Structure 1
Amino acid sequence: METADTIRHLLISALPVLIAITFHEVSHGLVANKLGDPTAKMLGRLTLNPIAHIDIFGTIILPLMLIVVTDGRFVFGYAKPVPINPMNFKNPKKDMAISAAAGPVTNLLLAICSFIIWKAVLTPLAGLSPELVGEKVLRPLTLIFQSGIVVNVVLAAFNMIPIPPLDGGRVLTGLLPYKQAASFSRIEPFGFIIVLLLIYSGIANYIIMPFIVFFLKLFQIY
């Protein structure tokens, strides 16, 4: 990828990635706080200030690497996880699952909002505006909101892989009977390694790609 293309993809993808991961983490903390765990609130993590959520590798280095390696076709990142103490919940197993599900659900809502702004606002404006305004202003904004759809769908899909500590793993733990949930949760220390192996082997594609393709077709991106 040439330098100019790299810069263009960075400008298009940076804001959607930052918004997606910030809202994802804040939603975990907000729901947890609502269910009785004020840990995130006490540590100042219930803020939309992205600085509070930035992880050097997951928020900056990883997205940059993916933009370069995939020619901007695939962008993904993550923020510092919002701390949650399930011992503060009335029903730790159930409430932890609800808190975990809040992140992917928020990303899908952001994808829907991006789609609505693209189709209901930017597209009509493009038809009414002078060509220069359409090319210099509305076209870049359209690309940003389209990127927002892709970023949020991919983030939701990836996090719903049913392996702890990903959100899908925590949701599955909450749905399993107590004995099975306790056994399943023991893989959490190795969860990230398992996820990396699933991605490297291509097995993860069979888990998340149907979800991604379905929603990208729904949002007229794919």
Structure 2
Amino acid sequence: MIDPALLSAAPIWYVVFVFSLTCHEAAHAWLAKRGGDDTAYLGGQVTLNPVPHIQRSPFGTVVVPLISYLYMGWMIGWASAPYDPHWQQRYPHRAAYMALGGPVANFILVILAGVGIKVGMMLGVFAAPSRLTGITDLVAAPAGGAAATVALFLSIMFCLNLLLALFNMIPVPPLDGHTVVGLFMSEKNALRFYNATQNSPFALLGIFIAWKVIGYVFWPSMKFALMLLYPGTNYQ
């Protein structure tokens, strides 16, 4: 039987999830346009309206997150912004900046969620939790009601976007971090690197590696983020 608390949190989870993916992909699309590739712009991806992003990737933005939530209690999925591969061949560094934009957008959402939590605590609406049992209870709302809903929203926003940013920055194909690596090479070497590693076998291997590695990256990063959010505490 499905936990009623899990079901009640599902709408907020989904709103945060889709909004986070939308910001991520819109950042890719906007930076691509700034760099001279208007493919995503013409496809309607330079927008915070989630509809074009959902229409482009309905399986990754609707089916997979809902199924994963029912079975695992948290959402996984994906979206994408199209780009011209010939543009990447001509301007590998611009493509690397485009790739960097998505994780940066997620880090910005982490910061905004953290600011929201701190403001709520200053106003006496929120309080630091006595203990952490999951990513949905990052901050407590003693009075309940609407404040509890906002606390849940900010908790998921903070943790989910930290996870998305870190996962996508793992430097393996097909993740953003793989393309970002090109910034540390000459354009000629970056192009060679992309051409040698952008194929299906490497992508499958990369996803497997990232899935195994993310736990070792996320939890220490989460602990550090909590130290910044709640100085003097030591949540485990």
**Normalising to structure 1: TM-score of the pair?**
0.82
Matched, 1:21 2:21: yes
Higher share in helix: 1
Q: Structure 2: which 5+ residue stretches go unaligned?
A: 127-140
User: Which runs of structure 2 are paired with 1:163-202 in the superposition (5 Å)?
Assistant: 163-177=172-186, 178-179=188-189, 181-190=191-200, 191-199=202-210, 202=212
SS at match of 1:36: coil
| Whole-angstrom distance in 2 between the partners of 1:209 and 1:180 | 31
Q: Per the alignment, do residues 11 and 192 of structure 1 end up closer, same or farther by CA in structure 2, a change over 3 Å counting?
A: same
> Aligned equivalents of 2:85 and 2:226: distance in 1?
34
| 2-structure distance, mates of 1:211, 1:156 | 11
Provide the secondary structure at the position in 2 that maps to 1:135. Answer: coil
Contact residue 157 and residue 212 of structure 1 kept, 8 A: no
Does the 8 A contact of 2:26 with 2:81 survive in 1? yes
Paired residue for 1:12? 12
Residue 154, structure 1, aligned to residue 163, structure 2 = yes
1:57 matched to 2:73: no
**Same amino acid, percent of matched pairs:** 27
In the alignment, the residues of structure 2 paired with residue 206 and residue 133 of structure 1 have an alpha-carbon distance, to the nearest angstrom, of 33
C-alpha deviation, 1:11, in angstroms: 2.4
Structure 1 pair 208–85 and aligned structure 2 pair: CA distance change class (3 A)? farther
Number of aligned residue pairs:
214
The runs of at least 4 aligned residues of structure 1 exceeding 6 Å deviation read none
CA contact (8 A) 1:28 1:102 kept: yes
Shift of 1:188: 2.1
Partner of 2:102: 103
**2: CA distance between counterparts of 1:37 and 1:68?**
38
Deviations 1:155-191 (A, max 9, x none): 1011111112211001013323434651454322234
Residues 93, 173 of structure 1: 8 Å contact kept: yes
CA distance in 1, matches of 2:170, 2:224: 16
| CA gap 1:65/1:123 in 2 versus in 1, 3 angstroms | farther
Q: Distance in 2 between matches of 1:109 and 1:138?
A: 23
Q: Secondary structure at the match of 2:102?
A: helix
- Partner amino acid for 1:69? Y
Deviates more, 1:19-28 or 1:44-53: 44-53
Contact kept? 2:174, 2:207, Cα under 8 Å: no
What displacement does 1:18 show? 1.1
Higher relative contact order (CA 8 A, sep 6+): 1
Q: Within 2, Cα distance between the matches of 1:188 and 1:139?
A: 45
CA distance in 2, matches of 1:147, 1:29: 25
Distance 1:87 1:211, change over 3 A: farther
Residue of structure 2 in register with 1:36 after alignment: 36
